[in-house]
Amino acid sequence: MVKTLPKVEIEELKPGVKAPAKETLLTPRFYITDFDAVANMNICAQEEELQAMLTEMRNDYNRHHFVRDEEFKQSWDHIEEDKRRAFIEFLERSCTSEFSGFLLFKELSRRIKDRNPTLSEIFQLMARDEARHAGFLNKAMSDFNISLDLGYLTKNRTYTFFKPEWVIYAVYLSEKIGYWRYITIYRHLEKHPEHQFYPLFRMFESWCQDENRHGDIFNALLRSQSSMWKTWKGRLWGRFFLLTVFATHTLTVHEREDFYAAIGLDAKEFDRTIVTKTNETAARAFPEILNVEHPEFFPRMERCSDYNLKLSEIETSQAPQWLKSLRKLPYQIAIFGNLLRLYLIKPIDAEKMRGTVR
């Protein structure tokens, strides 16, 4: 049985403004990259595909979909405290992730505008979408008398440097896993409207279209760079990012199983579905995908989740820091060992499946 994390009080920077969640390996990260390398990227191999997607982005089919209608204009005080807290955590994580994408895409667009105008405009339009999402999520938080100071986040968050290739791998997976998360929740609540306690969930069908479109753009960018899928290094890096993103998803979903229970979903089943679907989709872009049907795959991943919850329990204990570090070590080693075993499972050659992937 998975144990949920202990409840904590909401910390505020000032009244009504939530303090950002403590940065950990699992919190959404803010990125910078080598902007010159992106500007000089040769995208000729996928130029036609990218131009078609640029035209689609200019049309902005979702511009009228993110509107707060009458259903939002009510009190939400009737939502029980535990459900409210779990939902606020979901909104914060989602808002931070979308805002991180906005900052990265905006800076990419600005830095490469004169040297790669096609990519610059694509990034500008993706930044538009991410800003719209982040703003809508932050406004949803304000319905519960709390919000994020996005300006404060911009100035005070740690920025991680990623090579352009790493950005492409990571953002592709982030967008595609986001698509599968949103559409799965939307379809579930369509069938079980009794669990739809807030109107934001109705937006997830339109939301996932943006995520899917962004993922397709990064698919084209990945396939335009033969070194990312034709070389042995590309294969190893692809597997690394697949495993890293899936492990992060599993650990965070199990940490927050209260939220999924609130909307009538089993966290374990939801996580397995999202990982499996995203892995299948990744075969359109990556040279290899993980063998998630291997009998050890999900049991080892979920073992890592259990160890992660133990780490969180130790961190929130009253023990001195040196003792916390000592107690954490066996679990950290166990997580690393399980992830290494998962990485070494023979992958599936996606290039051989090219043209047969759904």
Whether 343 has a pLDDT exceeding 50, the answer reads: yes
Residue 248: pLDDT band with limits 50, 70, 90: very high
pLDDT score at 255: 93
Q: What does the domain layout of the chain look like in residue ranges? A: 31-62+78-349
Q: What is the mean pLDDT of the chain?
A: 93
Whether 227 has a pLDDT exceeding 50, the answer reads: yes
SS3 label, residue 168: helix
pLDDT score at 159: 95
pLDDT score at 355: 61
pLDDT score at 17: 87
Residue 65: pLDDT band with limits 50, 70, 90: confident
The total number of residues shown for the chain amounts to: 358
Task: Give the pLDDT confidence of 1-20 residue by residue, as tens digits.
Answer: 444 444 446 777 778 888 88
pLDDT score at 8: 42
pLDDT score at 9: 62
Contacts of 332 (CB under 8 A, 6+ apart): 307, 311
Neighbours of 37 (CB within 10 A): 12
Task: Give the pLDDT confidence of 281-312 residue by residue, as tens digits.
Answer: 999 999 999 999 999 999 999 999 999 999 99
Exposed, middle or buried by CB within 10 Å (0-12, 13-18, 19+), for 121? middle
Higher pLDDT, 9 or 134: 134
Average pLDDT over residues 315-325: 91
Average pLDDT over residues 196-200: 95
